[in-house]
Structure 1
Amino acid sequence: MNLSRKKILTLGLALITAFGLFATGCGGDTKKDDAKKPAATANDGIQKIKDRGVLKVGCKVDVPKFGFKDPKTNKIEGFEIDLAKVIAKKILGDENKIDLTGVVAKTRGPLLDSGEIDLCIATFTITDERKKTYNMTSPYYEDPVGFLVKKDSGIKSIKDLNGKNIAVPQGATTRKGVQEAADKAGVKVTFSEFPTYSECKTALSAGRADAYAMDTSNLLGYIDDSTEILPDKIAPQFYGAATKKDNKALFDLVEKTFEDMKKSGEMDKLLTKWNLKK
């Protein structure tokens, strides 16, 4: 059968138009299918934990009473570990379904950012700056910064720290608090920063630092026969638990749980258990 050029062009255009309508129709179905897909919900963070079957928590492993590794059992224990267990039981029905990761001041934030931990309960001081980056609960503990010195150093007050070098943990709020207190007292100090609390204590013992400044409750775990804590207490630190900003469901659950624990007296019982009740 012979077709004229005009008829061929007309037939071609008709086929192109028909194909276009078909493609559009398919595209419309895709959009409808996408619309049927459930949107992400505010509880996704908690659901991920349930699906995984374990709550990943960042904690301290070198802070007596708060989070430390018991040399006898090789288990991490402490007040903040007990708090983590309460949250694990709330979400998963079993307080032992927790995966603990040791953190220091410098690594807490990055581990939260990367998603390697869901929750950080690790003597994490609440500050306005940190609240811009993380969800931070109301305080569950308050502790001022103190100074650990050698008994034979002649240092008896913050005034005696003039010209001295002070060991502080990296990434902690301690340095800022000490500097402000030193400025107020009219003394000049220098700082040496170390990754861990034990390294700060080693620097003091070895004479590489004249004092070790940190939250007083933490210092109590490092005091020995040759050292003492000065009577000066500065810069009250308020500890809170932290989650990523986009994990508000977990944050809300932790905040509510802590509030309930305070009202019921359970928080006080745990503080008493670890000899932290004031």
Structure 2
Amino acid sequence: MKRKWGVVLAAILCAAVLAGCGGVSKAPAGGGSGDGASSLPAQVQKIKDAGVLRVGVKEDVPKFGYLDPAKNVHEGMEIDLAKRIAKEIFGDESKVQFTGVNAKTRGPALDNGEIDMVIATFTITEERKKSWNFSDPYFTDNVGFLVLANSGITSWKDLDGKTIGVAQSASTRAALTEQAEKDGITVNFMEFATYPEIKAALDSGRIDAFSVDQSILWGYKDDKNVMLPDKFAPQDYGIATKKSNTELAEFVNNIIKEMKASGEMDQLYEKWGLK
């Protein structure tokens, strides 16, 4: 009889110990806990140990990545994405260090370890995927054109023989070159380091059109210029990480997937007036 009660007592004590362990908690979409007791992948844990997520962002693209000169604050959809990832890692969205990048500098900044990831209207292409990891697309846009309102240019084919301003190292030039060949027209290009420089060149008449993704162009539209109705080459934006950081890439992609599935991504589109 004593032996039977001993077995029962042992079972009760075992159950109590297991209950005290708190059970199994559900990990967030990215695979981390954000509260300290994590099962974060090693590459993500390294960022957490460093105490800050370093993200390359645009600073001249209203609604996506923009540094407000009056407030000295970064804002835009891509800024919010960076904060969302930081919250997943640290439980605190403020633990982000933003570094301004452009189409020419964002890749090298990843490669040399200056930043952990790029969220900067970075179009996913097969060629670029050979050099960096990309998440699933978080936004899709098309290449468009701004021209001066008094230029007489009303369509893409009116740009035959004209000069188009594009960003250095952007995919725009290749997309338009291919389209021009299809349509039997000839266009010339002038490259610039930043979007404000392209806009200034358009305003001064040094170029005939400013071409980049339409959502970016809307941030530079004013009463001096008009958007042409033509649009080409859908551009999928993805979050880029260093090619060797496969664990970090998977972690980020899981967050993007959950944001899409939950409707959180749609809320960001609405917040920033994006279509």
Return the letter of the residue paired with 2:128.
R
> 2:96 & 2:128 partners in 1: Cα distance?
25
How many Å separate the matches in 1 of 2:151 and 2:252? 44
2:197 pairs with 199, 202, 205, which one? 199
- SS of the residue corresponding to residue 243 of structure 1 reads strand
What RMSD, in angstroms, separates the aligned Cα atoms of the two structures? Answer: 1.0
Note the C-alpha offset of 1:120: 0.5
Shift of 1:170: 0.2
Q: Residue 63 of structure 1 aligns with which residue?
A: 61
Separation (CA, whole Å) in 1 of partners of 2:150 and 2:253: 45
The counterpart of 2:179, out of the listed 178, 181, 185, is 181
Displacement of 1:72 after TM fit? Answer: 3.1
Partner residue of 1:238 out of 229, 236, 239: 236
1:5 — aligned with what? none
Q: Which moved more, 1:91-100 or 1:71-80?
A: 71-80
Deviation at 1:213, TM superposition (A): 0.5
Shift of the alpha carbon at 1:43? Answer: 3.0
Please give the secondary structure, in 2, of the residue aligned with 1:90: helix
Structure label with greater radius of gyration? 1
Q: CA deviation at 1:211?
A: 0.5
Structure 1 runs (4+) greater than 4 angstroms displaced: none
Conservation of the 8 A alpha-carbon contact between 1:158 and 1:182: no
> How far apart in 1 are the matches of 2:262 and 2:70?
33
TM-score of the superposition, structure 1-length normalised? 0.83
Deviations 1:207-261 (A, max 9, x none): 1101011000000011111100100001110000010111111111110000001
The CA distance in 1 between the partners of 2:268 and 2:70, in whole Å, is 22
Match of 1:217 in 2: 215
CA deviation vs aligned residue, 1:63-110 (integer Å, no higher than 9, x gap): 010000123321010000000001001011100000000000000100
Once the two structures are TM-superposed, the CA of residue 185 in structure 1 deviates from its matched residue by 1.7
- Deviation at residue 44 of structure 1 after TM alignment: 3.0
CA distance in 2, matches of 1:71, 1:243: 28
| Deviation at residue 141 of structure 1 after TM alignment | 0.3
Specify which of 266, 272, 275 is matched with residue 273 of structure 2: 275
Give the match for residue 167 of structure 1.
Answer: 165
Give the Cα–Cα distance (whole angstroms) in 1 for the partners of residues 243 and 176 of structure 2: 29
Q: Could you say what secondary structure the match of 1:128 adopts?
A: coil
Match of 2:79 in 1: 81
Give the length in aligned residue pairs.
Answer: 236
CA distance in 2: counterparts of 1:181 and 1:202, whole angstroms = 25
Segments of structure 2 that go 5 or more residues without pairing to the other structure are 1-39
Please report the TM-score for the alignment, with normalisation by the length of structure 2. 0.84
- Cα distance between partner residues in 2 of 1:62 and 1:125: 17
Q: What is the CA deviation profile of residues 170-202 of structure 1, one whole-angstrom value per residue up to 9, with x for unaligned ones?
A: 010000111111112211111000000111111
Cα deviation, 1:145-182, whole Å, max 9, x if unaligned, reads: 00100011111001100110000000100001111111
| Partner Cα separation in structure 1 for residue 74 and residue 183 of structure 2 | 39
Aligned residues of 1:158 and 1:185 also touching (Cα < 8 A): no
Identity of aligned residues (%): 59
Higher mean C-alpha displacement, 245-254 vs 115-124? 245-254
Per the TM alignment, residue 117 of structure 1 is displaced from its structure 2 partner at its CA by 0.4
Q: Partners in 2 of 1:162 and 1:140 — Cα distance?
A: 33
Aligned to 1:129: 127
The Cα shift of 1:118 comes to: 0.2
Shift of 1:206: 1.1
Alpha-carbon distance in structure 2 between the residues aligned to 1:70 and 1:226:
23
Aligned partner (choices 117, 125, 134) of residue 115 of structure 2 = 117
In structure 2, distance between residues paired with 1:139 and 1:43: 22
Task: Quote the Cα distance in structure 2 between the aligned partners of 1:111 and 1:118.
Answer: 9
Between Structure 1 and Structure 2, which shows a larger proportion of helix residues? 1
Is 1:154 equivalent to 2:152 in the alignment?
A: yes
Whole-angstrom CA distance in 2 between matches of 1:271 and 1:118: 24
Structure 1 unaligned segments of length 5 or more: list them: 1-41
